[in-house]
Amino acid sequence: MIAFLIAALGCGAAGALTLANMLSIAPGSAFDVTLTAYMIFCVIIGGLGTIEGPIIGAVIFFVIQDRYSGSGAWYLVALGALAIVMAIRFRQGIWGLITARTRLSLFPVGYQLRTAADRGGGEARLGAQDPGEVLLMGETALDRHLGDRRDA
């Protein structure tokens, strides 16, 4: 609950700062579809399912926008092409690539897929049928049991 309150506070502060920088406030300028597309771009580039990914995606987006926005609409085409390449080739995003190589995690929250090989050996988790089975972190034997019963 506290996490939602902090996230709402951050979103409200960001919205207030954005609207404070605009000369005039109108629904068309404040609530544009373009902002949603930019946010989706940041998440796709940075990485889905993490806190760090969208932050890195936002930094990359603003650097690209600052450097190449003078070239007209072509930088938007380049942003779209980059998003398509990242969505098809690197699904975990830039932060996922960094995490896979360095095991670095600034905010250790979210879901990760792990196998017994990732844990170093044949150590079986509670609820796993075989050591190579992929389980979600945080999944309990009861969750697994209820999930199997729901599928049947």
Mean pLDDT by 10 residues, the chain (152 residues): 84 82 69 82 87 90 88 86 90 87 77 56 48 48 53 50
Q: Both ends of the chain: CA-CA distance in Å?
A: 34
For every residue of 17-86, DSSP letters joined together read HHHHHSSS--HHHHS-HHHHHHHHHHHHHH-TT-SHHHHHHHHHHHHHHHHHGGGTTHHHHHHHHHHHHH
